[in-house]
Structure 1
Amino acid sequence: MAPKRLLQGIALSIFLLFFSLSTALAQNKTITGKVTDSKDSAPLVGATIQVKGSRSGTTTGTSGDFTITVPASAKILAVSAVGYENQDVPIDSDNLSVLLVASTSNLDEVVVVGYGTARKKDLTGAVTKVSAKEFNTGVVSNPLQQIQGKVAGLVIVQPGGDPNADLTVRLRGATSLTGQPPLVVIDGIALDDFNQAINTLNPTDVESYDILRDASAAAIYGSRGANGVIIITTKKGKSGRTQVDYAGSIGISNISRKLDMLSADDWRKAIPNEWRDYLALDLANNPNPDSLAQANLTALDKGVNVDWVDEITRPAVFTSHSIAIGGGTGNFNYRASVGYVDQQGVVVNSGKKMTTARFTANQKGLDNRLNVQYNLNASTTKRDFLPDQRNTSQGVTDGGSAVFNLAYNYLPVYPVKNANGSYFQIIDQDLENPLARLKDVYSKRQDNFYQGSVKVDYEFFSGFKLGTFGAMSRYNDVFDYFEPKIPEKNNSPAAVKANANKAIFNGDIHANYRKEFGAHSINVTGVYEYNKFVNDGFVAGARGYIVPELLNNNLGANSDIRSNDIGSYKGEVKLVSFLGRVEYNFDDRFLVTANFRRDGSSKFGANHRWGDFPSISAAWTMSNEGFMKDIPWLNFLKLRASYGLTGNQDNIGSYAYQLLYGTQGLYYDNGNLLQSYGVSQENNPDLKWEVRKSMNFGIDFTLLNNRLSGTLDVFSDKTQDMLFTYDLPQPPFLTNRVTANAATATNKGVELSLNGTIIRNNNFSWNALFNVGTLRNRITNLNGNFKGTELVISRRLYGYADGRGLSNAYISVLQPGYTAGAFWLWEFAGLDATGKQLFNDYDENGKVVGTTRDPKDDDRVFIDPTPKFTWGFTNNFTYKDFDLSFAIRGVQGQKVFSNTILNLATITRLAGNNILKEGLTNGITEQPQPSTYWLKNASYMRMDNATLGYNFKMNSKVVQYLRVFFAANNLFVVTPYKGIDPEIKVDGDRRYIDRNYYPKTRSFTFGINMSL
């Protein structure tokens, strides 16, 4: 009986078990869904989905999809993702669509800080991160345009609209007298040439930018971080199904603004009334000057009406295509991409075509203790330069200034072509058919770039990793130039070919130890670095070619070659470094970071080859203190302070400390012309590092339930032992120039960034970002000592105005007490009764005692052209599946010297040259002189970018994500400045001087983003 009851009991238990399981299953339900970014509907990978109040849950896959089984009684899913606001989602359907809004605080966002990462809330230095979802879109010829106006203290200037032109980039101002850009680090590889490195990137491959703004953050890069650091992280593959991404766009650009030149009809009306009064007519021998003027007018006027700026420009088409494939497993992921950009310039025969390829992979092994990263990159850029361009910098004699000068001066009554189809030509000072020059001159360059890197890390025991990294980068630039014979010019056909090579090796051995014990945590990093840079190249040219069809492909077929037509060079720089960093965290309240780096550079003499660059920073997270917990409107508050030293060596050559010999010209000896040699550079064994000492105080805060966040930084930097070229007396020295350390300067400023979610609900959101920065730069000393000789510079002539009648017309200087490149000008005091210029006359006490037509240097005044502040304002809106964003940026208090207008707004150039309409009304009857009259207020507000997008809801098993957008760039600019554009170069020796820039463009773009 007992066995029978036992069997009955077992049967009953099994029945009850199945009953309970079936009941439980009946009470559960399966929910599917997709999590996407509310701004652009991009799928979010790795988002966490949990039943609210429960610890069980799941994460989203590569397409943002999820599946979760929940109790039938569950009402709410809690959805979260790093960098996004947490969201409670009602379970009102078996298939949910979840839109997460980017967090305004992003305190858990991971920031790249050099040889490691850190959570944003753990930072002790001034670091700003800009992610892909915040980038500017549209026609982006340079990746850094994606973050233009996004970061306080980071000034990115695009002088003109030339797609081949470099950007001017300054972070917290220029540290050296000539100005240097920040160090750029791409996927851990620090490259020495900022613009060259940036130009190898396809903008669609960039994932994020991390900007290290203060010395504490940048000190890990030592001497190379003196001007700040921009760390660029490219997109990587993610584990999961293979995903194919496509991004394509097409756009068109036009000139956004033109100078108000005389039209042909304006010119015809002006000449009879004005020409005889201002041209050197021989009135004694020609008693009827009106008849003479009319005769000359008839000879000049060809009966046409030509706008020469319109003739040399065109609507420029932009196309961009990028395709990427990525995926992987738990131990291996990869991403491969190829891209193509074709960007015409608005000026005829200018533009660039860029092809890029990039492959990244990450392999884990040995129980995840071994991690190997691979990177392979390549790019080829074919550039169509303007006739006088040799490189990508835009200055006075390059960047197309000559062709615009020709277009402005050539008369609108001249035809483009003769009746036989040849170009109409009048050759004279500032006169030549600009379209013919653009069409006839062959000026091209091809930039080739190849790079490979491997990083290997192994975790020997918990918390301790040891690794090594190696990278090889190679640049090859080939320049081709040919100018044919122009009969009216009587020139000799000229050809040039140049080849420039650069090989860079970066290697390091790095170790990291991380340990937590109780409320304490410590993170120690140590690195040995070795960097080698080798440059070499050649240039060859000649004249007298009789077969123009060969261009520059047969240099030997010349009839005129000279000694300076052939040149070659080779240089090498080595940089060896030891560095360490210690990060200490106590209870998430007190944070301390200490860095020390020792750099040795071959650029300096043996006496001072090594430099030591320490830094320390600390932070106090006040919001984690008990006495702050009951403040309902305060979510996060952290105080920061830092002090550190960084060095600079970038603005000197490879052998600046050595005694060098060079060619000194030809001499005659026994019937032969021989080359002479002599000392070309004085040796300086005491040449040493330029050092920047930086102090920073900052506040990070998040308020109102994370609806408003921001940072405020105040900094004070002092740069000493600045590297500069000084004049030497002869004798006793063998040459008159030397590179030495002498000057000092200061940079001080305030930076504020705010990020707020103004509206946020299920259908609509509005997020706004605002930043503003001020900067004050002052030279405090220019004097020094070299081998017992005082290097005394009370004032150094710097920038100059150029044009007809102007020779050595220096208008800016290096002067203690003023910013580098401060203007030094005569003060315009009006015109006399005959239209002659008057200037204020100062006495020895600096008081105005009258006016003069013959001013002296003592009558000049100093004027700071730098802005009082710069700012940026970005707004992002979403409504259901639509998104709209626009970015405005501005500069306040900037002054620009209008060199172009000075040359064109003068009636003295009539009738053989065209002029601005202003030249008929300003009353000046003589050659204009550089003065404060031409120094103009160039403050501006620019609508930089606006984008409207639509995100399709995809139910397809093939297409996972689809977005289309329409973008506009440079929609408008509000400015009192009358030149082409107020945004011009702010570096070099002609900063804030406007001289015939490539015109700014306005562009409109249609694009598509798709994931399969």
Structure 2
Amino acid sequence: MKKSHSNSKWKGFLFALLWTVSFGLFAQNITVTGSVTDATGMSVIGATVMVENNSSIGTVTDIDGNYTLNNVPSNASLQFSYVGMVTQIIPVNGRNQIDVVMASDTELLDEVVVVGYGTMQKKQVTSSITSLSASDLPKGVGGSSIANALQGKVAGLVMSGNASPNSGNTFQLRGMASINTSRAPLIVIDGMPGGDIRSLAAEEIQSIDVLKDASAGAIYGTRATGGVILVTTKKASTGKLQTNYTSELMFKKAFGKPDLLNAKDYIATYEGAKNDEGHETDWWDEALSDNPTSQRHIITMQGGQETARIFASLMYDQNRGVLRGDEREDYAGRINTDFKLLNGWLDISSHLSYRQAKRNQNKPSIEGIMRANPTQAVRDPNSQTGWNIWTTGDNTEMNEIGEAALKTDEGVDKWFRPDVSLKLNILPVEGLSYQHTFAYENRQWERHYYRSMFSREELRAGRKGWAEMEFSKTELFNTDGYLSYLNEFGPHIVNAVAGYSYFERNGDNFYARNGNFTNDRIMFWNLGEGTRLTEGLAQMGSSKNITERLLAYFMRANYSYNDTYMATASVRREGSSKFAANNRWGNFWSLSAGWRMSNESFLEDVDWLNDLKLRVAYGVTGNEGFSANYAARMYGSDTRWLLPTGNWAMSYGATTNLNRDLGWEEKHEWNVGLDFSVLDNRIYGKIDLYKRNIEGLIYSVEVPQPPNTESSMYKNIGTMNNRGWEVELGANPVRGRNWNYNTSLNLTHNRTFIGSLWGDQTYINGNYINNWVEYAHRIEENVEVGSYFMYRYAGVSEGRFQIYDKDDNIIFSDDGTVDDRVYQKNFTPTVMAGWTHNLGYKNWDFNMTLTSWIDFDIYNAIELEYGLRNVAQGNMIYDAIEKNGHITGRPSPSDYFLYDGTFLKIQNLSLGYTLALRKYTDMLNSIRFYFTGDNVYTFTKYPGLNPEVDITGWDAGIERKGNIYPQTRTFTFGLQLNF
């Protein structure tokens, strides 16, 4: 029944796709010729002429400034652009001759950026915003997710994750925005807050706008403390049906293999303490997948008239990781429509998308692979399963590869997201409109798990298999209604919005677990057959999440006088169901101003200066990014009581503590910026300085029992401040008929400090690293976040670590106390950089992105675990043994394992060639071939496995054994067909 339902759903989707695409009335195609000149009458050589929103129908002007464009829809519009000149959009209206005079200006200033509940021209922006277009994202990078394509593109944006196709990504913008509540930027997709960037394909994206400072994000109120990432998906261009097909073939290669002991040296090192089974096994190589080839295919279609336009896409993505059993398979589809009705009174736009990701996560543990005994064999030809599974010994001796092969761990992610936006243009009042949006998103997660009866755990437990099934569902609903007004009165421009927003989140989940089955064949598909159910040892549970609700009223007004003096103000009053009634509402606001100094008379004679604008902004945002389960009194079953009747009954009691005084966590941020463009717009950029103060930090702290039911409670515990700077530079030094070169560089510096801690919570310790080093970080007043809280290493004596105590005396680390620890070094880079190069020669194009983190420290817990004889519970690393062979004592939580992690990485590079075919055939416009390398090479002196460790949050900067995944280099061969 499930399969039938799934097929009918896809059939319905395909039918809707084909019907909507065929719905448009496509215009007749004509040939358009003309010339392009500047204001002095000189020919503009190399200007781009293309059908608006359709680069597949385009050309460049020749040495005389002339152009010829074939297959132009008669009702389309042509876009004329050239660096340093104003881009013009001119309707064709059936004409065969169109001559254009281009005015010198900066096209950078005329770009439109997306802001909260609307758009603005870039020249009128008074806050800190970084905008990326689809062309800024490198092709063939990222595979199943666009996150990798963002690496190095946005100043201040940091992402964590690894090369697994099933890895998630954590985003952090401008440093840490909170300690315990949400720190990630708010993702808004086509106006829907709370979006998941994993649900998008690069070919579907029109633009990405990153709102960095509080003045830009304040209109989103409670969820904008970590910044806002606005993603706009593509709208169709007018004209005949355009079809684009992209096919990619990806080859992956693991690198950075640790140099572990071979069998001979392993035996010598442990002097017979470990079993010698007489084999020579390279467990790392055995764990890698054979030739992990991946493929990706996506087809997009768009077209229509000005009154009815449709964009649609279908995608299939098979992504295999370099580890055995680590795979992901995606199916996705999207339909975006735009309709103009009632003679311009009503605009209707909608987005309908579906994505399904099947995840196979049967991969072996790299932690266990590195620990494995190289004298033991992976396979046993005499075993029923073919794997060498041993049941003796402790848990440090396991065949991780065989155990992974004897389990099934698969899951399915599903995203279904429809939305519709109705815009009423109030034509009698120029520039006035009312827009209402309804958006819904349904996310589902299904997990199927089975562990074979022949696995180590089942054999040792005397069971015959263990099965689990889980299901969870999350539903998001958002509706916005707002008035917009945009008009020009001579030199005055007014852009204002006012409205309301409502958001709701619901969720529920269920799981069932059972064991002891007749055979391994059925796995989890006959869960009730296991005898553990009748024995009372099976497990089952379900729950429903507390409903989250946000209701807000907002206003924003932008004013510009002669594009010289600009001001913006916004206010949002928002209520969250997560707070008690007396603290439910918060006010979030911003003020910002801009002054275009280049328009003033005292700079009018500076010929090399094209634009110079000063920005000043202040804003307040909130944070309620913690579980809604703490917002209401919750009850749960906890104890069975014997009744007088002799029967047992389950009692219910409170499972949460309510803090009715819990208040909003607020960020107050200043931002001062300078935008500039010089030398005929060949060099441009911006500089931002910012300072944040976060007040009312929310954290779960220990509380006494009684009077509290539970041992912890959310409280407002203190303050934090954050400051830094960002530089974004761009240059277009070469722009000609055949050669073009542009480059962009972004630099970031950030530092975060704890201001004060309130009440009894004087410090907070980080998580355990292992049994010897309990924690590496501590939060206290006036401490810089990212500092390591450790002993100062003083040497080794008699095989034991020595440290400096608080009085600078040298003592053995075993005698050290917490008072001897000091704050030292930091995992936050002094400077983070991203540098992109784009080079074009005729039909060839080349681009490369470099990333770098400069001057930061990493705690190398890999060396701690696999480099000390008395710590390692298995194999060891040669280099670590050579360095630490004289150490026999207990390791200390000292800076001995701290290393500078500075690195420079060739993040990705791509080479492409476009073959234009418009002159030869009416069916195929062009073919583009490209080759991309991702994670190409890292230059570093860091001795660990990977210097690009997780630096998001405050308890980070540690290369942990539990987070290891082989570094992966990906090579992509791509083909694009434009019809």
TM-score band (shorter)?
A: 0.7 to 0.9
Kindly indicate whether residue 928 of structure 2 is the aligned counterpart of residue 953 of structure 1: no
Contact 2:468 2:511 in 1 (8 A): yes
Aligned partner of 2:585 in structure 1 is: 610
Partner of 1:81: 81
Counterpart residue number, 1:695 = 670
Match of 1:275 in 2: 270
- What is residue 812 of structure 1 aligned with on the other side? 777
Specify the alignment match of 2:19 in structure 1: none
- C-alpha contact (below 8 Å) 2:764/2:778 kept by paired residues: yes
The one-letter code matched in structure 2 to 1:774 is H
* 2:835 is equivalent to residue 869 of structure 1: no
1:999 lines up with 2:963 in the alignment: no
Q: Is the 8 A contact 1:506 1:529 kept in 2?
A: yes
Choose which of 781, 788, 806 in structure 2 pairs with 1:842: 806
Q: Secondary structure at the match of 1:407?
A: helix
Out of 367, 372, 376, the residue aligned to residue 348 of structure 2 is 372
Aligned to 1:147: 150
Q: Give 1:816 deviation, angstroms.
A: 1.8
Aligned to 2:791: 826
Give the drift of 1:703: 0.4
Structure 1 unpaired stretches of 5+: 1-28, 69-77, 89-93, 277-292, 388-399, 784-790
| Superposed displacement of residue 408, structure 1 | 0.7
Q: 1:215 to 1:81 in 2, by over 3 A?
A: same
Following the alignment from structure 1 to structure 2, what is the Cα–Cα distance between the partners of residues 649 and 59? 57
Alignment equivalent of 2:475, drawn from 497, 503, 513: 503
Aligned amino acid, residue 424 of structure 1: N
Partner of residue 932, structure 1: 895
User: Residues of 2 paired with 1:964 and 1:45: CA distance?
Assistant: 14
Q: 1:413 maps to what in 2? A: 375
How far 1:36 moved relative to its partner? 8.3
1:358 to 1:79, Cα distance in 2 relative to 1, 3 A? closer
Question: 1:739-790 CA distances to partner (integer Å, 9 max, x unpaired)?
Answer: 111221011010000000122222212211000011111111221xxxxxxx
Quote the offset at 1:920 in angstroms: 4.3
Q: Cα gap change, 1:586/1:97 in structure 2, threshold over 3 Å: closer, same or farther? A: closer
Aligned equivalent of 1:16 = none
1:796 corresponding residue in structure 2 = 764
- CA distance in 2: counterparts of 1:774 and 1:911, whole angstroms: 40
* Structure 2 residue 575 is matched with structure 1 residue 600: yes
Corresponding position of 2:42: none
Aligned partners of 1:306 and 1:414 also within 8 Å: no
- The question of whether the paired residues in 1 share the 8 Å contact of 2:655 and 2:710 is answered with yes
How far off its partner does 1:136 sit? 2.4
- Say whether residues 1:468 and 2:439 are aligned partners: no
Q: Equivalent residue for 1:455?
A: 421
Mapping of residues 4-23 of structure 1, within 5 Å: none
Alignment-mate amino acid for residue 941 of structure 1:
L
Structure with the greater alpha carbon radius of gyration: 1
Shift of 1:304: 2.6
CA distance 1:627–1:865, shift in 2 (3 Å): same
Return the match for 1:189 from 187, 192, 202. Answer: 192
Equivalent positions of 1:284-683 (< 5 A) are 293=272, 300-386=276-362, 403-421=365-383, 422-427=386-391, 428-460=394-426, 461=428, 462-486=430-454, 488-489=456-457, 490-491=460-461, 492=463, 493-560=465-532, 565-571=539-545, 572-650=547-625, 652-664=626-638, 675-683=650-658
Instruction: Tell me what 1:138 maps to.
Output: 140
Once the two structures are superposed, the pairs formed by residues 128-277 of structure 1 within 5 Å of their partners are 128-140=130-142, 141-157=144-160, 159-178=161-180, 180-191=183-194, 197-268=196-267, 271=268, 274-276=269-271
Indicate how the Cα distance of structure 1 residues 991 and 673 shifts in structure 2: closer, same or farther if over 3 A, else same: farther
Q: What is the CA–CA distance in structure 2 between the aligned matches of 1:935 and 1:688, rounded to whole Å?
A: 38
1:230-265 Cα offsets, whole Å, 9 max, x none, are 011112211111100111111111112111211224
Residue 396 of structure 1 corresponds to which residue in structure 2?
none
C-alpha distance in 2 between matches for 1:443 and 1:699: 52
Secondary structure of 1:907's aligned partner? coil
Following TM superposition, by how much is the alpha carbon of 1:108 offset from its aligned partner in structure 2, in angstroms? Answer: 0.8
Q: What secondary structure sits across from 1:552 in the alignment?
A: helix
Q: 1:658 to 1:86 in 2, by over 3 A?
A: closer
Q: 1:62 to 1:773 in 2, by over 3 A?
A: farther
| Change over 3 Å in CA distance of 1:588–1:46 after alignment to 2 | farther
- Cross-structure match for 2:23: none
Distance, in Å, in 1 between the alignment partners of 2:441 and 2:715 is: 31
Q: Could you say which residue in structure 2 is the equivalent of 1:883?
A: 845
1:22 corresponding residue in structure 2: none
CA–CA distance in structure 2, aligned partners of residues 971 and 231 of structure 1? 29
Take 2:616 and 2:747, find their aligned partners in 1: how far apart are those partners? 20
Secondary structure, counterpart of 1:320 in structure 2: strand
**Equivalent residue number for residue 4 of structure 2:** none
Q: Quick one: distance in 2 between partners of 1:84 and 1:536?
A: 55
Q: Percent identity between the aligned chains?
A: 28
Deviation of 1:488 after TM superposition, in Å, equals 4.6
- Aligned Cα RMSD in Å? 3.4
Q: Which residue number in structure 2 is paired with residue 391 of structure 1?
A: none
Q: State the distance in 2 between where 1:862 and 1:37 align.
A: 57
Question: In structure 2, what residue type is equivalent to 1:356?
Answer: A
SS of equivalent residue, structure 1 residue 107: helix
Q: Deviations over 1:13-33 (max 9, x none)?
A: xxxxxxxxxxxxxxxx96599
1:841 is displaced (CA, Å) by 1.9
> Contact (CA 8 Å) 1:841, 1:855: kept in 2 or not?
yes
Q: What is the identity, as a one-letter code, of the residue corresponding to 1:860?
A: R
Q: Is 1:38–1:878's contact at 8 Å kept on the other side of the alignment?
A: no
Are 2:901 and 2:947, in contact at CA under 8 Å, matched by a contact in 1? yes
In 1: Cα distance, 2:87 partner to 2:199 partner: 40
Deviation of 1:668 (Å): 7.0
Residues 67, 649 of structure 1: CA spacing in aligned structure 2 closer, same or farther, 3 A cutoff? closer
Q: What is the SS of the residue equivalent to 1:118?
A: strand
Range with greater deviation from structure 2 (621-630 or 635-644): 621-630
SS at match of 2:587: strand
Deviation at residue 988 of structure 1 after TM alignment? 5.1
Could you say if the C-alpha distance between residues 487 and 211 of structure 1 is closer, same or farther in structure 2, counting changes exceeding 3 Å? Answer: closer
Counterpart amino acid of residue 154 in structure 1: L
What is the one-letter code of the residue matched to 2:865?
N
Contact 2:866 2:872 in 1 (8 A): no
Deviation at 1:879, TM superposition (A): 1.2
CA 1:160/1:53 → structure 2, altered by over 3 Å: closer, same or farther? closer
Aligned residues: 909
Q: Assess if the C-alpha contact under 8 Å between 2:768 and 2:775 holds in 1.
A: yes
1:906–1:916 Cα contact (<8 Å) kept: no
CA distance in 2, matches of 1:541, 1:139: 39
Rounded to whole Å, the distance in 2 between the matches of 1:975 and 1:382 is 36
Letter of the 1:653 counterpart: S
Q: What letter corresponds to residue 150 of structure 2 in structure 1?
A: I
Change over 3 Å in CA distance of 1:215–1:1007 after alignment to 2 = same
Q: Kindly provide the CA deviation profile for residues 64-95 of structure 1, in whole angstroms up to 9, marking residues without a partner as x.
A: 99999xxxxxxxxx98338775699xxxxx99
Per-residue deviation, 1:530:
1.2
Give the conservation status (yes or no) of the 8 Å contact 2:283–2:372: no
Normalising by structure 2, we get a TM-score of 0.87
Where in structure 2 are there 5+ consecutive unaligned residues?
Answer: 1-31, 37-44, 89-95
